[in-house]
Amino acid sequence: MILLIAFAFLAGVVTILSPCILPLLPIILSSSVEITGKKRPLGVVVGFVLSFTFFTLFLSTIVRFSGIPAESLRLVSVVILIIFGLSFFVPKIQLFIEQLFSKLTRFAPNGQTKHGFFGGFVVGLSLGLLWTPCVGPILASVISLALSGAVTTQAFAITLSYSLGTAIPMFIIMQAGSTALQKVPWLLQNSGKIQKAFGVLMVVTAIGIFINLDRKFQTFIINKFPKYGVGLTKFEDIESVKKQLESLSGKEIKRQDLGKPMFNLQSPKGPKAPELIAGGVWFNSDPLTLAELKGKVVIIDFWTYSCINCQRTFPYLRKWYENYKDKGLVIIGVHSPEFEFEKNEKNLAKAINDFQLKHPIVQDNNFDTWRAYNNRFWPAKYFIDKEGYIRYSHFGEGEYDESERVIQELLKETGVTEALTPVNNPQYQNYAETEEIYLGFGRIGNFTSPQRISENTLATYTAPANLSNNSVAYEGNWNVMEEYANPQKGARLLLNFKSKEVFLVMRTKGSPAKVKVYLDDKLQYFGDDNQNGVVTVDADRLYKLTNLPTPGRHILRLEFEDENVQLFAFTFG
């Protein structure tokens, strides 16, 4: 343990010369162009040490609980650096920051502004988040533990030791620049111009980081000068450190990877697939884990049964499962319900039967597996290879041929040599211009009745004289809840839409409910769920209201003959 802490400290010291640190050096140098003694450089290194240690150990936890992507946090750092860079040569921005920092004087001792310790501290906080990809194998092992949630005292000590080691040369560089400004007459006379030049450099560097030019620059340096940096961390190439790293991380670390930046240690195949979270009811199978499926190709399909976009993927899933299940493909549907009634086990079982889905499916009512994958979409598919890596993902509909080619390539990697089915998936054309519209007050959009919605209570609404495009209005008495709207007998709903097909998620409170469907003031019959212009709602599911021969803009009017129906969301196709 002590040996690893010592080597982490030394790794931090030499990191300043690593190829992936070179793009960040202009920002470090920019922090030395103000004659402020040691206060600002000291603020930078303190902010860096705290930020780097915190984000290295807890970034995955922050992302998991807040839902904020790591790249968004990186973007915040870039924006802060751009603002500080602009303050060097844009007087109005400089004045704004001065005023902002003057209001924060209770947090900045002795009334320090952006020029002192506190200003440097903010820059250091931003640097810490940008620095993480540049660590070597010692910190990469620690980060692998942090990603799995195992943040220990050892991990904290090693990470802090590394950041302190990195802070020393960083401070020396900034202090040397500040001292040169004070003692070299020409630099002192032109300090204003130098500050502006470094401000421009800082802004350009931050923009380059935002568009990932820093990573391209790293690759260029490594490719152009393959021996650059090879000897910087040669001290890590000893058997005792290698063994301790493997013991700490629980995985083999190759000797040729020792001393390389962290982005070279990441698997070229992609991220490791998170395990399925146990707890939900399984259908069509006993409970499965990815660990026991190692050696097979697995598709994790996130879906919810009332989603029309999910339903349109079912024919492809059925086809792939039938064609490839005996060749090593396993499809696991993870049912993460959008609406409360979809959590019902009997409702889901009926939907699985109605849609003739034969592959294993697990309930994810608490969104545990959804969060483990940091998923955001219905439907979403993750294609996992024989070693458990996510090699491809697709969100929404479409790209069926590409998806099937991925299946075939991954199966070939398992040793499948027999001829595979030719790729030729039918394509579904979505004609909709109108996007999904929710009807409960929690997510309602494009609502144009002049009255404000009365939440969780009965109220009377009127329709506007002219219904704007892609909008909805209530008329009559409605009880609007967070997830759904419940019209009373005689109430009407008006919708201005453009598409061929209109779908509506509905459920009944008890006995079957009757809904009349009018299109452009004419009672319409389209077949499917719409029989003779009336839809009978007798189950909790998606109902098809229209099926026009060609797409167009129309006014849909629904009239309700009782108060038994609950309306959740419109979708279109």
- What was the pLDDT predicted at 410? 93
- What was the pLDDT predicted at 89? 67
- Domain ranges for the chain, please list them: 2-127+139-241, 282-413, 437-572
- What was the pLDDT predicted at 115? 54
Tokens (6 digits) for 32? 């030395």
Ramachandran region, residue 230 (left: φ > 0; alpha: ψ -120 to 50; beta: rest) = alpha
Task: Judge contact between 474 and 450, C-beta under 8 A.
Answer: no
User: What digits encode the pLDDT tens for the residues 245-257?
Assistant: 555 555 555 544 4
554/179 Cα distance (integer angstroms): 73
Residues of the chain falling short of pLDDT 50: 35-36, 104-114, 144-149, 222, 226-235, 255-267
557/492 Cα distance (integer angstroms): 7
- What was the pLDDT predicted at 172? 76
Question: What's the pTM value of the predicted model, to 2 decimals?
Answer: 0.51
- What was the pLDDT predicted at 45? 78
Give, for 395, the enclosing helix (H) or strand (E): strand 390-395
- What was the pLDDT predicted at 397? 81
- What was the pLDDT predicted at 110? 47
- What was the pLDDT predicted at 262? 43
Quickly name the fold that domain 437-572 has. Answer: Jelly Rolls (2.60.120)
Q: Which residues contact 530 (CB under 8 A, 6 or more apart)?
A: 517, 524, 544, 545, 546
460/339 Cα distance (integer angstroms): 25
Identical fold between 282-413 and 437-572: no
CA dihedral 184, 188, 192, 198 (to 10 degrees): 20
- What was the pLDDT predicted at 253? 53
Q: From 2.40.30.10, 3.30.43.10, 3.40.30.10, 1.20.58.1290, which CATH number describes the 282-413 domain?
A: 3.40.30.10
- What was the pLDDT predicted at 289? 93
Q: Which amino acid is at 489?
A: K
- Find the angle CA(67)-CA(72)-CA(75) to the nearest 5 degrees: 165
Rounded to the nearest 10 degrees, the angle between the axes of helix 239-249 and helix 2-15 is 100
432/442 Cα distance (integer angstroms): 24
Instruction: Kindly report whether the peptide bond that precedes residue 379 is cis, defined as omega within 30 degrees of 0.
Output: yes
376/339 Cα distance (integer angstroms): 15
φ, ψ for residue 330, nearest 5 deg: -120, 125
